[in-house]
């Protein structure tokens, strides 16, 4: 499970092909305007918070203490990928729990002034365990899954790789 990262969890809920490509270090086009926008929002938002904390195989956007509780926050440019973002954040909470750290999560979408609270529960843990199994199966294959059009393909940084 050490190969599984928050980024792979994120991609798992969007496209299995992206999971394989990312896991095999075939990184998306970095000058994609949507990646750039996300990077700028991440850098410019929540300037007073402690950002980019690497902890084992996880990279936390924001780590803070609120009313005595550890809070992990994930910053996203839009809520379009809310399910993926919530599960990515849940993955971080799961990994922290494995390390004996009890934390809560906040999904932050600054451009929409939106905050979604995420807590780890038994149902989410089971869903993550299924995702871990699926991801390990996907990345163990010699070739990526065939491309399948979905609602996220239009702005995907891998678009040229799949549909050129």
% of the chain exceeding 70 in pLDDT: 84
Nearest-angstrom CA–CA distance, 4 and 145: 18
Beta strands in the chain (DSSP E): 51-55, 58-66, 69-75, 103-109, 114-118
Q: Return the CA Rg of the chain.
A: 16
Q: How many residues does the chain have?
A: 164
Which stretch of 13-22, 33-42, 70-79, 87-96 has the lowest confidence by average pLDDT?
33-42
Predicted TM-score (pTM) of the model is: 0.84
Contacts of 161 (CB under 8 A, 6+ apart): 21, 26, 28
Nearest-angstrom CA–CA distance, 115 and 79: 10
pLDDT recorded at residue 45: 53
Reported as a single tens digit per residue, the pLDDT across 107-141 is 999 889 999 999 999 999 999 999 999 999 999 99
pLDDT recorded at residue 78: 87
Reported as a single tens digit per residue, the pLDDT across 17-37 is 999 998 998 876 555 455 455
CB 58 within 8 A of CB 6: yes
pLDDT recorded at residue 42: 46
Could you give all domains of the chain from N- to C-terminal order, each with its CATH number?
A: 6-163 (3.90.320.10)
């Amino acid at each position: 499970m050490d190969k599984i990262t928050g980024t792979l969890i994120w991609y798992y809920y969007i496209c299995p092909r992206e999971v394989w490509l990312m896991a095999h270090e075939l990184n998306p086009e970095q000058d994609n305007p949507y990646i750039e926008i996300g990077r700028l929002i991440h850098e410019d938002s929540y300037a007073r918070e402690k950002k980019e904390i690497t902890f084992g195989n996880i990279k936390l956007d924001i780590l803070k203490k609120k009313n005595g509780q550890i809070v992990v926050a994930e910053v996203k440019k839009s809520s379009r990928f809310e399910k993926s973002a919530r599960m990515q954040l849940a993955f971080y909470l799961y990994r922290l729990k494995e390390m004996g750290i009890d934390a809560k999560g906040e999904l932050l979408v600054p451009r929409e002034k939106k905050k979604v609270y995420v807590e780890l529960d038994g149902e989410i843990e089971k869903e993550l365990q299924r995702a871990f199994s699926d991801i390990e199966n996907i990345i163990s294959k010699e070739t990526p899954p065939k491309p399948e059009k979905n609602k996220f393909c239009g702005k995907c940084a891998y678009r040229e790789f799949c549909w050129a």
